[in-house]
């Protein structure tokens, strides 16, 4: 592993002090090569820790990224074109609306040398979809009725009801485990030493702290992931972004991400550091909850005229220009525009505080009102929204907290207005955005059976054009009800060694198996 080059180094968190630190480090280390290339070890820092390496019990994108390194899924999705490609399966077809048949790749081996067969697929998906397993992302697996082995290298997945959008889940969220090993060691044992068929094998796992992976030299040829080239990947979890920046600047890390625009600007001054801005599929928006059967107390946002007025009160263009920055752009829909089935341009709220004030007066609030606004990230954006609302007479009190705490307030019915984001766990089919945001009783602001029926019809339609039309009707109804104020697409900011050839993808999955040294 790399040896520290600067003992006792500490990044000072304040903006001015950090700028001085960056300039000093630039002169000290600018001419030195990063050690990652020298010892063929890609040193990665994530801010979020993984509490398990049994990937059915992880609900952050870092878990999906790690899963893609260690394990494979039946299907792969091209990160550029969004096309679905064979991975552990060589082909698939719909036998009936609720039967999806797969032919499986032969000659594939797990990291422990065991052959990959239909038994492993049937075991993994039946186990994960069993309610007793309590997989953390139930929407990823609860559509499975059962998985039937039909031959040594063929299976049929039986769905509980027709749902064409499950192809995207199979391409991202459902890694396949070795039956014999996983059934023997269970989730705890698997988390401590995960085994898959993927391009990297686990050497050492310290759950919640770090993971060391090495290249799987026996990884099968001809698959869409290709053969990995970097010898080892060492992942650490550090919560403080400024400390991670220090590690990158001193050569003890090769790759970090999810930096703020200000932090990225600091790192752009450092030689041998590449800063990449990439638009992600995460979207930011204001979410109203106007349903009286959900809220514990009456709220002005129960009136659609108030929601419409607030839509014109928020200066979305200024937020994008001055706060979101990077590759972010104003969002005029209720989904990431490049998602399969998304309808872009369904809303076009122009900033018009005079119009907003007039509409509030017509709704019976000539002097405005007070409301709580909840948020869990991007606080400067929330504060900008609060400032815009204040200009039209609305006093918004900020309740800023960790998402776990915010979710409990949502469940309790305390939240009439929140500033939030949605990233979709790396999924690129809009079905899962709609399923979560407009059918889940915790989030659904509409309570509209017609919307629920349209979402369901979009899931089951056989052609993509039919699916698109049903989903478009949902988006138009949501727009008419002013249930959201879409804000912007979120930029992910990456910083990595200048010796590393790495490409960011909009789904947020870190595909280190495609990376290489220059």
Residues 141-153: tens digit of each pLDDT? 999 999 999 999 9
Reduced to 3 states (helix: H, G, I; strand: E, B; else coil), residue 293 is coil
Q: What pTM value is reported for the model?
A: 0.86
Cβ neighbours of residue 362 closer than 8 Å, sequence gap 6 or more = 305
Show the 3-state SS of 193-259: CCCCCCCEEEEEEECCCEEEEEECCCCCCCCCCCCCCCCEEEEEECCCHHHHHHHHHCCCCCEEECC
| Residuewise pLDDT in 10s, the chain (518 residues) | 333 333 333 333 344 444 444 444 443 334 344 458 999 999 999 998 899 999 999 988 999 999 999 999 999 999 999 899 999 999 999 999 999 999 999 999 999 999 999 999 999 999 999 999 999 878 789 999 999 999 999 999 999 999 999 999 999 889 999 999 999 999 999 999 999 999 999 999 999 999 999 999 999 999 999 999 999 999 999 988 899 999 999 999 999 999 988 899 999 999 999 999 999 999 999 999 999 999 999 999 999 999 999 999 999 999 999 998 889 999 999 999 999 999 999 998 899 999 999 999 999 999 999 999 999 999 999 999 999 999 999 999 999 999 889 999 999 999 999 999 998 778 899 998 998 899 988 999 999 999 999 999 999 998 999 999 999 999 999 999 999 999 999 999 999 999 999 999 999 999 999 999 99
Residue ranges and CATH numbers for the domains of the chain are 1-49+199-272+498-518 (3.40.190.10), 69-188 (3.90.76.10), 280-490 (3.10.105.10)
User: Is 314 in contact with 388 (CB distance < 8 Å)?
Assistant: yes
What's the rounded Cα separation, in Å, for the pair 59 and 62? 9
- What pLDDT score does 501 carry? 97
- Among 63, 39, 147, 51, CA closest to 101: 147
Cα(228)–Cα(106) distance, integer angstroms: 20
Six-digit token string for 469: 């039309």
Q: What is the pLDDT of residues 24-79, one digit of tens each?
A: 444 333 434 445 899 999 999 999 889 999 999 998 899 999 999 999 999 999 99
- CA distances 194 to 53, 105, 188, 191, 421, Å, are 7, 21, 10, 6, 31
């Amino acid at each position: 592993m790399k040896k520290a080059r600067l003992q006792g180094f500490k990044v000072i968190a304040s903006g001015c002090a950090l700028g001085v630190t960056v300039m000093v480090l630039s002169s000290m280390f600018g001419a030195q090569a990063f050690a990652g290339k020298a010892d063929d070890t890609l040193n990665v820092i994530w801010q979020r820790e993984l509490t398990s390496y049994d990937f059915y019990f992880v609900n952050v994108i870092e878990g999906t990224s790690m899963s893609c390194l260690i394990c494979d899924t039946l299907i792969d999705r091209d990160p550029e074109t969004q096309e679905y490609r064979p991975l552990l399966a060589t082909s698939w077809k719909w036998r009936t609306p609720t039967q999806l048949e797969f032919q499986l790749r032969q000659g594939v081996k797990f990291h422990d040398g065991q052959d990959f067969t239909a038994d492993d697929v049937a075991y993994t998906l039946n186990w994960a979809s069993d309610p007793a397993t309590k997989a953390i992302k139930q929407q990823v697996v609860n559509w499975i009725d059962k998985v039937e082995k039909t031959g040594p290298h063929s299976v049929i997945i039986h769905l509980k009801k027709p749902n064409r959008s499950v192809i995207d889940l199979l391409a991202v969220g459902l890694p396949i485990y070795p039956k014999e090993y996983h059934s023997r060691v269970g989730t705890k044992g698997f988390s401590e030493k995960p085994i898959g068929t993927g391009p990297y094998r686990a050497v050492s796992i310290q759950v919640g702290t770090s993971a060391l992976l090495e290249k799987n030299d026996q990884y099968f040829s001809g698959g869409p992931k290709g053969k990995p080239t970097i010898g080892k990947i060492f992942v650490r979890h550090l919560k403080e972004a400024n400390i991670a920046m220090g590690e990158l600047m001193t050569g003890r890390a090769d790759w970090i991400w999810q930096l703020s625009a200000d932090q990225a600007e600091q790192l752009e001054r450092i030689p041998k550091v590449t800063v990449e801005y990439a638009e992600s599929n995460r979207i930011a928006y204001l979410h109203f909850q106007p349903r009286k059967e959900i809220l514990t107390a009456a709220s002005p946002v129960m009136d659609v005229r108030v929601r419409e007025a607030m839509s014109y009160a928020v200066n979305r263009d200024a937020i994008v220009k001055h706060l979101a920055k990077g590759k972010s752009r104003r969002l005029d829909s209720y989904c990431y525009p490049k998602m399969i089935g998304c309808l872009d341009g369904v809303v076009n709220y122009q900033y018009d505080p005079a119009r907003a004030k007039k509409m509030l007066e017509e709704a019976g609030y000539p002097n405005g009102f007070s409301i709580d606004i909840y948020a869990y990230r991007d606080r400067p954006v929330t504060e900008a929204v609060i400032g815009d609302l204040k200009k039209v007479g609305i006093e918004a009190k900020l309740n800023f907290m960790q998402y776990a705490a915010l979710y409990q307030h949502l469940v309790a019915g305390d939240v009439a207005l929140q500033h939030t984001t949605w990233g979709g766990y790396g999924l690129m089919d809009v079905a899962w955005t709609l399923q979560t945001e407009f059918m889940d009783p915790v989030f659904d602001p509409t309570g509209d059976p017609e919307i629920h029926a349209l979402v369901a019809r979009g899931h089951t339609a056989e052609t993509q054009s039919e699916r698109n039309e049903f989903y478009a009707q949902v988006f138009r109804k949501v727009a008419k009800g002013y249930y959201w104020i879409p804000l912007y697409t979120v930029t992910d900011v990456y910083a990595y060694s200048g010796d590393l050839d790495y490409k960011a993808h909009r789904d947020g999955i870190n595909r280190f198996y495609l990376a290489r040294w220059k």
